[in-house]
A and B are shown apart, each in its own frame.
Chain A
Amino acid sequence: MMRPILLALTALLAPALVALSLAVAPSVRRRGAPAAALTILASLASFGAAVALLFEHSARLTVPWLRTGARVIAEVGVNVDGVSTSMLVVVTFVALCVQVFSLGYMHDESPPAFGRYFAYHALFLFSMNLLVLAPNLLQLFAGWELVGVTSYLLIGFYYKKPSAAHAAVKAFWVTKFADMGFLFGLLTLFVATGSFSFNVALTPPVAVAVTLLFFLAVVGKSAQFPLHVWLPDAMEGPTPVSALLHAATMVAAGVFLVVRADPLFAQAESTRTVMLVVGVGTALFAALLALVQTDIKKVLAYSTCSQLGYMIAALGAGSMLGGFFHLTTHAFFKALLFLAAGSIIHAVGSNELSKMGGLARRMPVTFAAFTIGALSLAAVPGFSGFFSKDLVLEAVAGKLGSIPLALLVATAFLTAFYMGRVLVVAFLGAPSSDEAAHAHEAGWSMKLPLLALAALSLVAGFFAAPFAKLHGQAYHFHFGGVAAVGTAAGLLGLVLAYTLSSARIARATRAVSELARGSAVDRFYEYSFRRVTLVLSDSLAWVDRYVVDGMINLLGYRTIDAGRGMRPLQTGMAPDYVLAVVVGAASLAAWTVLR
């Protein structure tokens, strides 16, 4: 009984202690390197404890926190079971990789900034672990909020850049708006059942209300349409932060909430249908937007929205395993992609794909890592993304007349296509800038995490069966029709990206001969691509930018205007104030009588 608890507390408190000591000892923090060392040690301890927990049985320790009379209303503590342990391993591992990578990536920062960066990381890991190990929804909510604050600090790390400060505020604002749903959900759940447990029986209307409210928070945190607008902007943060927050942890927290509260969601079939629709819609919509991005991080950002859509769709289809397993593999390969992109940006000094090209020969490790990540994301058989995406597709098969399945297969095609495009443009062909021509691989602190994550992206898929066992489910892989269709879509996308783009690169260099050589198929592809997909994507980007984003901004500005509109009431004249007091009192009394 004691051992799992001690391990869980280690995982939770090691980063907390470091964060606290860095907060109270600015002299250590401002020297930079010691802060980084402490933070990485804490993450190592957390990760070690998390791995050890995989071999322990379930356990639970709670301390009463709030009580009325003899009744305990809320508890805090740690909850060790299959769900929390596997999430803990993912979170601590990715955090560790990202922190080691940051040693190299953030090397040029001044020591105080370097130390501050790692202090935020320690705080973030604590918040995330608090959320993951929560024994009830109240503690999960506290962790959830703290993750929001810390992400604000991390996204706004380059706070001297106005766009970064703005992005941080926007991310905070949008997710906070969505968090209202969480709070309402908690209150409703508490009033209905008197507890914050994730596993209580509810009456059908309450179940739908509570889960829909929770889902609103998930939409914000996991960047689902229409609250996805903050995620692309949040790319203003340092690239390792994007790898941590926007691949593996913060955005996954939303999905984790649904997994954690699965017993509640299982009681609300209509919420699940909403989730399926929103998930599939976001997957397709974000994939289309990823097509037209020219910034490598924005491609990955929209791709994250899209993949989160897959997870939400799987959970909406009732497959907890599918959603959660895709979360796990996605955490590995998307963190890998972001870190590899960080390695490129570090070498080239720009996020723009047009400044890259020909990097395969100059940065072989990064190339290999990015390729493994991309192939995994494209769900090529054998790579981890294939197994998890297959689980998602199997889960949605047959739901709502197979429309979700068809759309997700189409998305799989688009995913492979845009990842193929990035691979080709960034790594193949000739360098498009001086920086790209002289790019070189960074030191081991940046290569090692890439290799570790690449290894996991390669093999994680084969651990589906033990993963399922952790959650008390069975998993047997079979290569059925769904898998075949999904694979075909993915491969088609990759091949198309390769042929189309190499043709375009060729045309850029030898425009004349290209015209002569261009086959009818090429032209057809390109025509249909330009006329249909690109127009569609561009118009969607327009809608996204001006309509969805605009509405959200409008809401903000209207609120400020409402505040300004009330200002003239405050005249500054004492007689007016006295009058207001008297009139106020009189109308209150009148209201009492007439009510």
Chain B
Amino acid sequence: MSELRALWVPLAVAAVAIVLLVVDVLTHPHTSRRWLGYFVAGALAAIFCATFLFPTDGRAAHGAFEGSAWTTSFQRLFLSAGVVAALGGLDDVAKRTPHRVGEYWLAMLFSIIGMLILPGARDLVLLIVAFELMGIPLYVLAAYAKTETKGGHAAEAALKLYLTGATSTAITLFGLALFTGMTGTTRLDALAGAAGATTPLAGVGLAFVIAGMGYKLGMVPFHMWVPDTYQGASTPFVAFLSVAPKAAGVAAMSAIFLFGMRGHPAHWAPVIALLAILSMVVGNLLALPQTDLRRLLGYSGIAQMGYVLVALASNDTFAAGMTFFFLTAYLFTNMGAFLVLHVAAESSGEHSAASLAGLAQRAPGLAAALMAFLLSLAGIPFVVGFWAKLYVLLAAFRAGLVLPVVVGIALAVVGLFYYLRVLSAAYMSEPGALKRPELGAPMRLAIGICVVAVVGLGLWPKPLVDQSLAAATSLLERR
């Protein structure tokens, strides 16, 4: 029974996926399947609420999976990402591929199941299986709509994602093989006492693992797929792709490094700090000259992940909590920004800053939402991004990571420059011939959720901070 108690969240989502499959098959081929999106959003929302009512702690599969405050926090994050992605993508999917709606949501649910297992995985085999369960449906989804937008090709985007993804998986597996070969165990809780964990070869293995996972996070130099894929795939899907798998990647890295290798930070923390610095520098600088806003947000996302990794490299409970806080802030902010961008691009046919021209006059509410998201990305009070960046830098500085913090603060100023440029397109230029963008009810709801989260948590971050710290404590200080 305790196994079920720990695993019920991913199992519930699996049940939803199976029901969806059956319903999809039974539905008459010529009826609209748009409502399947509502079904997915509703089911995920229900499971999200249920996590507050039913316990999710305990161990399963002989300790290979562990439910804790940390696991549940991340699960709620993925479930909310799923809700927003379902609401935001609902009309787009029904419009582009009216006869293949079911498979789309099925793939997304499978990917979410993988994510739900990752933060609780305490065995490297389970971890890598969950990681691939998360990743493979994403290749499918990237190619799904076969969209041909200006400057973007879904098939090409998906192929790049797949080729580099497969390479990185190979590298991760190779690294894990070396690592488990040296330590003699796949169990993360046994690593603390494993003699071989500090050997040079284990270090090489860990470097490969970091490289492979860093790919999923879009860390420099494994970031090249990010802008191309963001540009090519359908934007509502990119909203999901740009946040949920990244949070899941961080959850996986936390399990390996913060949970398993806590006692030996010298063997992994500098590598992560190095990648963090590279990501902040390259991401911010390359975001500057971008004209396509999807690419701009892609590079900005690379930079934002740099800040997360700075906190991760701190190897500290407070910092781990702030990692989660940052990821939550980033999830709602970035999803919201991509969804607004999608709406604006639908009405203008392109994804450059020109598509936002005069948005403040055409759709004041939408422009205000965009402002909240961009200010949050730029780290301005009182939207949640400000606290996220401040807390992460504070945590890292306290842990003694001076150089990454210095780089992070300096480049945050560069970040302001390109975020402001996007914002000024929306507020300080004339709409010209552009029309008022059309927003369906589900899209309104999706953007609304993001705005409420970004502004609400910006005004009163305390509950989330408390939750983040409790989660980090459950991961790091229980033993």
Measured CB to CB, the closest approach of chain B to A158, in angstroms, equals 10
Top-6 shortest CB links A-B = A585-B211, A563-B288, A584-B221, A159-B428, A589-B207, A563-B285
Contact A66 B393 (CB under 8 A): no
Q: Which residues of A contact B394 (CB under 8 A)?
A: 187, 190
A26 to B200, CA, bound (A): 63
B167 adjacent to A589 (CB under 8 Å): no
Given the known inter-chain contacts A563-B287, A563-B289, A585-B207, please indicate yes or no for A591 contacting B271, CB distance below 8 A: yes
Between-chain CB contacts (< 8 Å), 17 pairs: A66-B461, A67-B465, A68-B317, A68-B469, A160-B430, A183-B409, A559-B288, A564-B288, A566-B282, A574-B163, A581-B164, A581-B171, A585-B212, A588-B207, A588-B211, A588-B271, A591-B274
Q: Which residue of B lies closest to A559 (CB)?
A: B414
Q: Does A180 contact B (CB under 8 A)?
A: yes
Q: B30 interface residue, CB < 8 Å from A?
A: no
Asked if B215 CB lies within 8 Å of chain A CBs, one says yes
By the criterion CB–CB under 8 Å, are B289 and A65 in contact? no
Q: How far is the CA of A265 from the CA of B409 in the complex (A)?
A: 24
Residue pair B159, A574 in contact (C-beta under 8 Å): yes
Interface size class of B (residues with CB under 8 A): 35 or more
Which stretch from B52-60, B132-140, B223-231, B439-447 is at the chain A interface? Answer: B223-231
Compute how far the CA of A591 lies from the CA of B272 in the bound complex, rounded to whole angstroms.
Answer: 12
Contacts of A577 in B (CB 8 A): 160, 163-164, 224-225
> Is B16's beta carbon under 8 Å from chain A?
no
In the assembled complex, how far is the CB of residue B245 from the closest CB belonging to chain A, in whole angstroms? 16
Number of interface residues of A (CB under 8 A): 54
- Which A544-595 residues sit within 8 Å CB-CB of chain B? 556, 559-560, 562-564, 566-567, 570, 572, 574, 576-578, 580-585, 588-589, 591-593, 595
> Which residues of chain A in 1-57 are interfacial with respect to chain B, using CB atoms and an 8 Å cutoff?
23, 26
Does B416 sit within 8 A of A, measured CB to CB?
A: yes
A156 at the interface (CB under 8 A from B): yes
User: What mask results when residues 134 to 148 of chain A are scored 1 for a CB within 8 Å of chain B, else 0?
Assistant: 000000001101100
A494→B200 CA distance, assembly (Å) = 79
Taking the complex as formed, is B380 at the interface, i.e. its CB lies under 8 A from any CB of chain A?
yes
- Nearest CB of chain B from residue A550's CB, rounded to whole Å: 18
The majority secondary structure among interface residues of chain B is helix
Residue pair A560, B289 in contact (C-beta under 8 Å)? yes
* Complex contacts, A588 vs chain B, CB 8 Å: 207-208, 210-211, 271, 274-275
**Pick the contact of A180 from B159, B203, B409 — CB < 8 Å?**
B409
Knowing that A143-B381, A574-B159, A588-B210 are A-B contacts, what are 7 other residue pairs whose CB atoms are under 8 Å apart, sorted by A's residue number? Answer: A67-B469, A142-B382, A187-B394, A581-B164, A581-B211, A585-B222, A589-B211
Contact between chains at B375 and A580 (CB < 8 Å): no
Residues of B within 8 A of A592 (CB): 200, 203-204, 206-207, 267, 271
User: In the complex, what residues of A have CB within 8 A of residue B168's CB?
Assistant: 581, 585
Q: A149-B380, A165-B424, A165-B428 are in contact. Are A585 and B317 (CB under 8 A)?
A: no
CB atoms of B224 and A570 under 8 A apart: yes
- What 0/1 readout, one digit per residue, does chain B (461-472) give for beta carbons within 8 Å of chain A? 110011001000
Contact B211 A567 (CB under 8 A): no
CA distance A169 to B275 in the complex (A): 31
Instruction: Determine if A504 is an interface residue (Cβ-Cβ < 8 Å).
Output: no
B368 / chain A contacts, CB cutoff of 8 Å: 23
- Give min CB distance, B356 to chain A, whole Å: 14
Measured CA separation A116–B215 after assembly (Å):
45
Whether B289 lies near A564 (C-beta < 8 A) is: yes
Asked if B381 contacts A145 (CB within 8 A), the reply is yes
Find out whether the CB atom of B164 lies under 8 angstroms from the CB atom of A585: no
Instruction: Kindly specify which of A170-178, A335-343, A363-371 makes contact with the partner chain.
Output: A170-178
Chain B residues with CB under 8 Å of A66's CB are: 391, 461-462, 465
- Verify A572–B228 contact, CB threshold 8 A: yes
Q: Which residue of A lies closest to B473 (CB)?
A: A69
Residues of chain A lying within 8 A (CB to CB) of residue B424: 159, 165, 169
Docked pose: A570 CA to B203 CA in angstroms: 30
A residues less than 8 Å from B413 (CB atoms)? 173, 176-177, 180
Query: Within residues 357 to 396 of chain B, which ones have a CB less than 8 A from any CB in chain A?
Result: 364-365, 368, 375, 380-382, 386, 390-391, 393-394
Q: Is A191 an interface residue (CB 8 A)?
A: yes
Chain A CB within 8 A of B318 CB: yes
Q: Which of B211, B397, B406 meets A191, CB within 8 Å?
A: B397
